[in-house]
Amino acid sequence: MPKWLKDAVFYEIYPQSFYDTNGDGIGDFNGIIEKLDYIKSLGCNALWINPCYDSPFKDAGYDVRDYKKVAPRYGTNSDLYRLFGEAHRRGMHVLLDLVPGHTSEEHAWFLESQKAGKNEYSNRYVWTNVAFQPAKGFPYIGGESERDGVYLLNFFKCQPALNYGFQRCEEDWQLPPDHPDCIATREAMKDVMRFWLDHGCDGFRVDMAGSLVKNDDEKKTGTSALWKNVREMLDEEYPEAAMVSEWNEPMAAINQGGFHMDFFLNGKDNGYTTLLRDYESGEDNSFFRKDGKGDITRFLEEYVPRYMATKENGYYCLLTCNHDTMRPKYNLDDTELKIAYAFLFTMPGVPYLYYGDEIGMRYLDIPTKEGGYARTGSRTPMQWNDGKNAGFSTCPADALYLPVDTAADAPNVAAQEADADSLLNTVRTLLSLRHEQEDLQADAEFEVLYAESGKLPFVYRRGDLLLTLNPSAERVSAPVAVTGKEKKLLFSIGSGEINSGEITLEPQSFLVWK
Ligand code: NOJ
């Protein structure tokens, strides 16, 4: 386990929209370098950068055309190497986004693979052997290749599935994971990883990490064995490199696959979604809404068993949002967000902050861009100040990658820096508390002390610290087995007190006691 993860806090950057230094309307590596001090000032000491490789951008870069070359629109490979160096100089780490499940249909491997004549790449992707038959339950494309067969997709039409084999082979075109050509795909992905690690990258966020071996069993035996093999390579060659999976099955990802971290991701009605985004039914029951209709036990039911089962091996991680999800500002105001972030940043595992969530950037209702569809509204340019294009770019507004939020009250960094009570400054205080208190970091103990269905507050322990949380507009109380005198207040939003075994919390409050 890379030691630096214990006190890591990640900042996710969608490079298109972070900071444009050459006035072409899209963010770039130099922009990220210029803003490293800002990111560090928040208390984030690690970055996850969404795919920044050469790509036709039909899925915002998750359709990689060349794994070893950056997209010219962000700069050059040397600029990215310089970014690694500048981050390291500041004690920061950088994860790139590894997309191992599929490439772009324009990738050189795929262009070879679709040829009629057998070659080294024929089995790099999953092909059937007759163009006129469907691929038995898998999404596929037929009729476009010289080769007689159809190929499997991993996501959009532009993303043919790389071939890591089938755990259960049911058709003659399905190869087992230990077939030399499937092993060759895995080794090719390791080669990509080594390339970036050798140039100073500190690890990877892994896209759709659970999708590699097809027809896998319920325990994900095939895919996790593949990742375990990758972990062995890392332990031997790059022991400080970190891997986080987009999987949301920590038992498979962490315990079996050897990932250091796995995300608790948004999913229909799942435990994470009930915290911040429980509005699909038309009624908003999100736990952090001040109307107090949420129920923390819905989160804990899923989180606690997974946390308990994986805590010795890795970190099950919480995020404010990501590039696929509605911004939390969509349904929560700044006070609600402060309490939500206080929770997210004091839980076990490694927290992830999505760029712009520190100022409460809004979700914008805008047309799709680069395969974003509904996700596009969470990918708009960072709002740095109230100047032209919110300080993101000097280009004409119609040349922007995506429109900036032009509302009169659109939040921005400069204004919030000047306001001691802003969301941005609350994030800073919370993250500096986390860095100061080992008990708030990734691996310190976590225990639920009070969580009742339909009731508040929520009370939990991290190491020797007591954390008490009331997102609602009502005063609430609960029994706790401590007296106020033993406890000193370390941090507070709102107020509350502990008296003869009972904790009382004022509306919308979050308190940390030692
Ligand atoms: C998950 C990524 O987060 C998403 O943005 C992308 O579209 C798909 N995987 C396909 O790579």
Summarised one tens digit per residue, pLDDT across range 142-196 is 999 999 999 999 999 999 999 999 999 999 999 999 999 999 999 999 999 999 9
Distance CA 457, CA 479 (A): 10
**pLDDT tens for residues 286-338?**
999 999 899 999 999 999 999 999 999 999 999 999 999 999 999 999 999 99
- Position 352 scores a pLDDT of 99
Which contacts qualify for 297-305: CB closer than 8 Å, 24 or more apart? 297/451, 297/452, 297/453, 298/271, 298/274, 299/271, 299/272, 299/274, 299/275, 300/271, 300/448, 300/451, 301/271, 302/264, 302/270, 302/271, 302/272, 303/264, 303/271, 303/272, 304/448
Three-state secondary structure call for residue 100 = coil
**Residue 52 scores a pLDDT above 80:** yes
Rounded to an integer, what distance in angstroms lies between the CA atom of residue 206 and that of residue 196? Answer: 14
Measured by CA distance, the residue closest to atom 11 of ligand 1 is 62
Using one digit for the tens of pLDDT, what is the confidence trace for 2-14? Answer: 999 999 999 999 9
Q: Write phi, then psi, for 150 (nearest 5 degrees).
A: -115, 155
Residues 6+ apart with CB under 8 A from 236: none
Q: What is the CA(55)–ligand 1 centre distance, in A?
A: 14
Mean pLDDT value across residues 111-127: 98
Question: Packing angle between helix 334-344 and helix 423-436, nearest 10 degrees?
Answer: 20
- The pick from 12, 58, 62 for probing ligand 1's pocket by mutation, whose C-beta has the most ligand atoms within 8 angstroms, reads 62
Mean pLDDT of 449-468: 97
Which pLDDT does position 485 carry in this prediction? 72
User: So what's the pLDDT on residue 275?
Assistant: 98
Evaluate: CB of 7 within 6 angstroms of ligand 1. Answer: no
The average confidence (pLDDT) of the chain is 97
Q: How far is the CA of 62 from the centre of ligand 1 (A)?
A: 6
List pLDDT tens digits, range 402-442.
999 999 999 999 999 999 999 999 999 999 999 999 999 99
Q: Which residues are catalytic?
A: 207, 246
Q: How many helices (H) and strands (E) does the chain have?
A: 12, 20
Residue 240's CB is within 10 A of a number of other CB atoms, namely 14
Which tokens sit at 129? 């052997």
Stretch 236-249: mean pLDDT? 98
Half-sphere exposure of 267 (CA within 13 A, CB side): 12
Handedness of CA 200, 202, 208, 210 (dihedral sign): positive
The pLDDT, as a whole number, for residue 130 is 96
Q: With bands split at pLDDT 50, 70 and 90, how would you rate the model's confidence at 379? A: very high
CB distance 324 to ligand 1 below 6 Å: yes
Q: Which residues contact 308 (CB under 8 A, 6 or more apart)?
A: none
Tally of CB atoms within 10 A around 425: 16
Q: How many residues belong to the chain?
A: 514
Q: What's CA 102's distance to the chain center, in Å?
A: 19
Share of the chain above pLDDT 90, in %: 97
Ligand 1 centre and the CA of 286: distance in Å?
25
Q: Of ligand 1's atoms, which has the minimum distance to the CA of residue 101?
A: 11
Mutate-to-test residue for ligand 1 from 324, 325, 352, 354, highest number of ligand atoms within 8 A of CB: 324
Pairing of strands 66-70, 53-54: antiparallel
DSSP conformational letter for 74: G
Structure tokens at 128: 């059937």
Please check whether residue 166 is in contact with residue 174, taking contact to mean a CB–CB distance below 8 angstroms. yes
Taking the centre of ligand 1 as the mean of its atom positions, its distance from the CA of residue 207, in whole angstroms, is 6
Residue 460 confidence (pLDDT): 97
Strand partners for 46? 10, 93
Q: Is the pLDDT of residue 486 over 80?
A: no
Ligand 1 contact via 127 beta carbon (within 6 Å): no
Residues with Cβ within 8 Å of 220's Cβ and at least 6 positions away in sequence, in order, are 210, 249, 252, 256, 257
Residues in Cβ contact with 150 at an 8 Å cutoff, skipping those fewer than 6 apart: 127, 128, 131, 133, 134, 135, 140, 141, 142, 143
Say what the pLDDT of residue 496 is: 96
